[in-house]
A and B are shown apart, each in its own frame.
Chain A
Amino acid sequence: MHADITLEPTSGAPMLQVRDLTVEYATTRGAVRAVDRVDLDVDRGEFVGVVGESGCGKSTLLFAIAQLLSDPAAITGGSVAFRGQNLVTMTDKQLNALRWCDYSVVMQSAMNALNPVTTIGAQFEDAVRAHDNLSASHIRRRSVEVMELVGIDPIHLGSYPHQLSGGMRQRAMIAMALLFTPDLVIMDEPTSALDVVAQRSLMVQIKELQRRLGFAIIFVTHDMSLVSHFSDQLLVMYAGQVVEAGPTRVVFDTPSHPYSRGLLDAFPSIRGPRVPLTGIPGAPPDLGVGFDGCAFAARCTQVKNVCHVTAPDLYRVRGVESRCLQYAPDYSDAWLAAAKEAS
C-alpha cells in the first residue's frame, strides 16, 4: 500500500516529491476520502501555494505531508519523498530526526498553537531541546537571532503569547519554525487571522526570509489573490482533488479550470469598473456520500452530460495541468455523443 521510493538524490530531482497521496477518514458512514491522489513537486527555494475553500482537503494534505495526521485520518496510499526518502514509511524516531531540522510547520492560529502559560523564549527552548543538544546560551543566541530575523524585538522572548498582538504572534511562530533553518517550511493559513495591512507585511517578510535563507515553502490558504503575488507554483484544490496546477502567473492570467476561473471572478476588484459578479452558487459535494464523474459538475457553468459520468484526470493544457474533460486529448463530439448514449 505504501510505495517505498528511494531515489538517489540527484541535483535534478525535486526536494519534495508527493505522488498519488491519498488520505481517508474513518467515519461511521465508511471511509471518506479527504485527499485524492495528489501529486506535488517542490524544488529547493520554491514557493508553492495551495488554495481552496473549506473542505477541499488542503489542510489535510498539509498535515499528511508533514506526517501529522492522527486518528481517524490516515494516509491510505501514495508516497511523500523528501530528498529521496519516503516519509510515509518512516518510524517516529526517523521522522523526529528530520522534523524541525529539515522541515518545520507553521500552524494556522498562533493563539491556539502557542502554549499560553509559558513564555515565547521557553517555547523556543522546548523546540530546540526536542531535536538537538545545545547549551542554554547557544539556544538563547539562536532565539535572539530568529526573533530579529522576523522583525520582533528580542525582549519579547520573555513575553507570554497573549501579550503580543496577532501579527507578532504569527511572526513568533515563523521564528520558531526557522530555529534550525530547515529546507522546507509548511504553513497552514498563517495570515487568515490578521488584518489586511498586517497580512501584507507578514507576507513580504516571509518572502524576504525565503530570499535570505533559501528555504522552500508550501503555503496553504483560501485567499487566492493574496498568494498570487508571492508563489511560484499554484495548486487549486476542490473536493480533495487537485483541479489545476502550474506556474502562478499562468494559472492567474489564464485559468483553465472552470472552478479556478469562478474563484478568481469571485474577488471584487478595487480598481477598474464595478461589474456585477456571481460567485459560484452551490456547495461542494458531500465527500461521505461520494459522487460520480467530475466533482465540480454540479456547479460548473460549462458542464456537459459526460461530466456527470466520467471522472476527469489531470490533462496538460497551456503549461498547466487541469482536471477538466474539455482538455482530454480524445475529447470530441463523437466522444460526447457516445457518452451521452451510455449514460
Chain B
Amino acid sequence: MTTDGLVAPRPAADAAAGPLIEARGLTKHFKVGGAFSRKTLHAVDDADFQIDRREIVALVGESGSGKSTIARLLARVYRPTAGEIRYQGESLAGLRSRAQTLGYHGDVPMVFQDPFSSLNPAYRVSHGIVRGLKLHRPELDEAGRRAEAERVVEAVGLTPAGEVLGRYPHELSGGQRQRIGFAQALAYRPKLIIADEPVSMLDVSIRIGLLNVMAKLRADEGVSLLYITHDIASARYVSDRVIVMYAGHIAESGRTEDVLANPKHPYTQLLLSAVPDPRAPLLVDAGTDKGEPPRVINPTEGCRFRWRCPFAIDVCTTVTPRPRLLGIEHSAACHVATADALNAGATAPDSDNGQPTTKTGAK
C-alpha cells in the first residue's frame, strides 16, 4: 500500500483491524420485461455479511442465487437498490471523485470466470497489467512497472515471467490465462480480490493449481479473497468461511468446517448430499428434487426454498426467515433450524427482536 502523496486518497483507513467489507441489507433488483412492465427480478435481497482481512470467504450458490450479482455490487459494476456496503468503515455510496473511485477499484479488483474472454485478444498479456499499474500505481516509472509486472506474474506461478508477458492470450492455456487474471488483480496491491467462478471453466486437473495460487496469495501477500463458486467441494478446499446463497437470500454462513460438518439450512443439506464424491456412495433417495432453479420475479413473503424443502412448516409460507445465530459464528435463515436450536437451547429465544443478528463470521 503506497503512501506517496500523489496517490488518490483512499477511504479513511482505520487503525484497528475492523472488517474490510461490511454489507447491510444489500439489495439489488432489476426491471424485466418491456418498458411498461412492473416485473422486477429480485437478484439479491437483504444480504448481510462481512469480509475480514487475510481471509478467504467462499460464496456458494447455484445459478440464479445472486452470487454473481453480489460480486458485481462489491466491484461497483452495479449500484445497490437498497442497503449499503462499507469498505473499511466508509460507505461506498460516498465515493464521488474519480480519484476516490479509482482508489477503491485498486483495492477491490475482480477476476473473471471465462479464460477465453477475460483477456483482450488484440494485445499481449502484459497490456492489462501495465494499464492497471498506470492507473493505480502512478508512482512507478516504466522500469518500475516492468519489474512489478514480472513480480506479480511470478507470484502466480508463471515462469519465466518476462517471456510470458510477451505472449498473446491465445498462446497461453486456459489455466495460464486465469493466473494472468490473478496477476492483474495482484498488481494493484489490493486488499480484497473478488474471484467470480475462476476455475469453473478449467479442466479438473488444473483447478487445484489455481486454488493453491489463491491460498498462496492470502498467505504471502496478505490479500483477502471472495471466492464465488457453485462447487462446494472446492469452496471447502480453499476457504475459511462460507456463505451459502439461495434465490437472492443468504441461507447459511459460518466457518467452512462447521457448515459442512453440521449444515443447518435444508438447502445446504441438499447441496452437500448432491455433491458426487468418489470416495463415498451418492445419496439417491433425495433424488426426487429435480433441481429446478428458482425464478425470483415479484416474489411473495415467505421462505423461497419452501417448495423444495422437506421440512417446510406453516410459518415458512408467510414469514421470510432472517439469518439467526445458531452456533459459534454459524447462522442460518430457516424457521425450522431456529426452532430446533431453540429446543436444544443453543440460542436465546427472540434475542434479536427482529434486529439482524447476522454475526456472519465476525471475529
Tell me, yes or no, whether A274 is within 8 Å of chain B by CB.
yes
Which residue of the partner chain, among A53, A252, A274, A281, contacts B237 with CB atoms under 8 Å?
A: A274
B278 touching A228, Cβ below 8 Å: yes
Residues of B within 8 A of A222 (CB): 203-204
The distance from the CB of A164 to the nearest CB of chain B, in whole angstroms, is 10
How far, in angstroms, from A54 to B115 measured CA to CA in the complex?
A: 14
Which residue of the partner chain, among B175, B277, B289, contacts A269 with CB atoms under 8 Å?
A: B277
Q: Which residues of A in the span 218-268 have a Cβ within 8 Å of any Cβ on B?
A: 222-226, 228-229, 252, 262-264, 266-268
How far, in angstroms, from A228 to B260 measured CA to CA in the complex?
A: 22
30 A-B residue pairs with Cβ-Cβ distance under 8 Å, sorted by A, are: A53-B205, A195-B62, A195-B63, A195-B291, A196-B231, A197-B274, A197-B291, A198-B291, A198-B292, A199-B274, A200-B284, A205-B287, A224-B204, A225-B278, A264-B278, A266-B207, A267-B233, A268-B233, A268-B236, A270-B232, A270-B260, A271-B277, A272-B279, A274-B236, A274-B237, A276-B212, A277-B208, A279-B206, A279-B212, A283-B173
Tell me, yes or no, whether A280 is within 8 Å of chain B by CB.
yes
Tell me, yes or no, whether B315 is within 8 Å of chain A by CB.
no
Tell me, yes or no, whether A278 is within 8 Å of chain B by CB.
yes
Residues of A within 8 A of B275 (CB): 196, 270
A contact set with B: CB distance below 8 Å: 53-54, 151, 165-168, 194-202, 204-205, 222-226, 228-229, 252, 262-264, 266-272, 274, 276-281, 283
Which residue of the partner chain, among A196, A223, A264, A277, contacts B274 with CB atoms under 8 Å?
A: A196
How far, in angstroms, from A228 to B277 measured CA to CA in the complex?
A: 9
Tell me, yes or no, whether B309 is within 8 Å of chain A by CB.
no
Question: With contacts A197-B291, A270-B233 known, is A226 near B205, CB below 8 A?
Answer: no
B236 touching A200, Cβ below 8 Å: no
Tell me, yes or no, whether B50 is within 8 Å of chain A by CB.
no
How far, in angstroms, from A205 to B291 measured CA to CA in the complex?
A: 12
Q: Can you list, as one digit per residue, whether each of B278-320 has a CB less than 8 Å from chain A (1) or not (0)?
A: 1111101001111111000000000000000000000000000
The distance from the CB of B128 to the nearest CB of chain A, in whole angstroms, is 22
Question: With contacts A263-B204, A266-B208, A277-B237 known, is A200 near B279, CB below 8 A?
Answer: no
Q: Tally chain B residues at the interface, Cβ within 8 Å.
A: 42
Question: Nearest chain-A residue to B238 (Cβ)?
Answer: A268
A165 touching B292, Cβ below 8 Å: yes
Q: Can you list, as one digit per residue, whether each of B247-280 has a CB less than 8 Å from chain A (1) or not (0)?
A: 0000000000100100000000011101111111
The distance from the CB of A224 to the nearest CB of chain B, in whole angstroms, is 7
Question: Nearest chain-A residue to B256 (Cβ)?
Answer: A274
B208 touching A268, Cβ below 8 Å: yes
Question: With contacts A200-B287, A204-B287, A270-B236 known, is A224 near B278, CB below 8 A?
Answer: yes
Question: With contacts A204-B287, A229-B281, A269-B277 known, is A165 near B293, CB below 8 A?
Answer: yes
A197 touching B270, Cβ below 8 Å: yes
